Chains A and B, each alone.
Chain A
């Protein structure tokens, strides 16, 4: 066996063979050829290390909420025509946004309370819980819709996709500007309402985008 033949044979080996010992004919060549021996040793080291890599790695965050929501959006019919199903879906989005609205309004109210102000602690605590829950609900819906959109990207008309993405950026920038304004003037109910409106537009745009007719 020459060097080329030996290296071709080595190529066909996997970690198990490497760990157990090279095939006899290859081993015979390796004994006589220091170059191929070095090659084989390196290969063995690599294969063993690769096979020893951890086969499991939990993601840094829980991906399930996004998956579940994307599935929920998927399961809603994607038909393009206006119809009862689509209205239902939009109604779902409206509920989610309404929840987010509650969160924002409540946030505004609480934001207004000065640190020294005395408020019924229990009420504040429970409002806080609701707000967190509503905000999470909103983020879940948003994440799910964004994931669905991402998945459908390739099947959408590029120009339409560009319009959608450009307008998502417009909304994102607006929301960021409102948040900055809220830092300057915490508790401003008008700004809070605008933020809710921007978020509602975002959810509605995402809903619309995920239901666009696909090309493939």
Chain B
């Protein structure tokens, strides 16, 4: 074989393996409007979009080295799962786009694949190790947990978002939420909350929103700073504490200082009719209360 021919053969072979590497997916299955959809994918990405058809559709690509896509289940529970070979060492990520009935309950599980969910109305549960999670407004409840990936969530119903080192962002009309991290920052830019808990050990906290009458906002960090921005008109009982940080308060001209540790360390005050409760604590970080 002359050299030219050899090169041509190699190129052809490479092209062939490339084609084999990227299996295109295009599969559909009937599904109940309010059934459960379970998706798992190790690496790559998962994009879930709610639609008004009574079926689940999977498109995208199956990564090189993956064994197959399991697409099974009954209409009430659909399973979409990337199956890897038993000795999978060099497998490329799979990028899945899954369209599901908008009222489906969604469960997504990945290792490093990023997850995005859009246009869903029922509950959404996502767990990943290093992937990022983004859930757009709409679900009646969200539970999202990533170890190192950032989490960004908006929901009509209750939200529970967790990360160890990723940043957690809560947006939109979420009225009840819990966000917890170890070192990741927590950001909330929301409407009026009924119950909000933001808790981190060394991350910083930023909250901007309002608290419903009789609602509750609690922000807790050990060494991060906390900045809470609320309307001046909010009637609330405030408790602000820091052991060694500073307190900067724009909201409480009538604040009483009652701490045994001296000024700037602990601050309790009430505004308006005091219906809501706001509690912000940092052990060594600074606490800032800002007027919106």
Contact = CB atoms under 8 A, between A and B. Distances in A.
Interface size classification for chain A = 20 to 34
Classify the interface of chain A: helix, strand, loop or mixed: helix
A204 B256 CA distance: 41
Contacts of B207: none
B201 A177 contact: yes
Interface stretch (B6-14, B16-24, B78-86, B94-102): B78-86
Interface stretch (B26-34, B124-132, B229-237): B124-132
Interface in B184-235: 199, 201-202, 220, 222-223
B87 A213 contact: no
B202 A81 contact: no
Given A170-B164, A170-B182, A213-B42, A178 B129 contact: no
Contact of A81 (B109, B130, B164, B284): B109
Contact of B182 (A174, A193, A208, A215): A174
* Chain B interface, DSSP helix/strand/loop, else mixed: loop
A198 B182 contact: yes
Interface of B: 38, 40, 42, 79, 81, 84, 86-89, 107, 109, 111-112, 125, 127, 129-130, 145, 147-148, 162, 164-165, 180, 182-183, 199, 201-202, 220, 222-223, 241, 243, 281, 283-284
Contacts of A82: 38, 40, 107, 109, 125, 127
Contact of B87 (A163, A181, A215): A215
A94 interface: no
A80 B129 CA distance: 13
Interface in A80-122: 80-82
B148 A167 contact: yes
B165 A194 contact: no
Interface stretch (A41-49, A54-62, A183-191): A183-191
A159 B93 CA distance: 14
Contacts of A80: 40, 109
A198 B111 CA distance: 21
Contacts of B130: 159-160, 163
Contacts of B111: 157, 160, 212-213
Contacts of B38: 81-82
Interface string A16-51: 000000000000000000000000000000000000
B125 to A, nearest CB: 7
Contacts of B89: 215-216
Given A198-B182, A198-B201, 16 more contacts: A81-B38, A82-B40, A82-B107, A157-B112, A167-B147, A167-B164, A167-B182, A174-B183, A174-B202, A174-B222, A177-B223, A193-B199, A193-B220, A205-B164, A208-B127, A213-B42
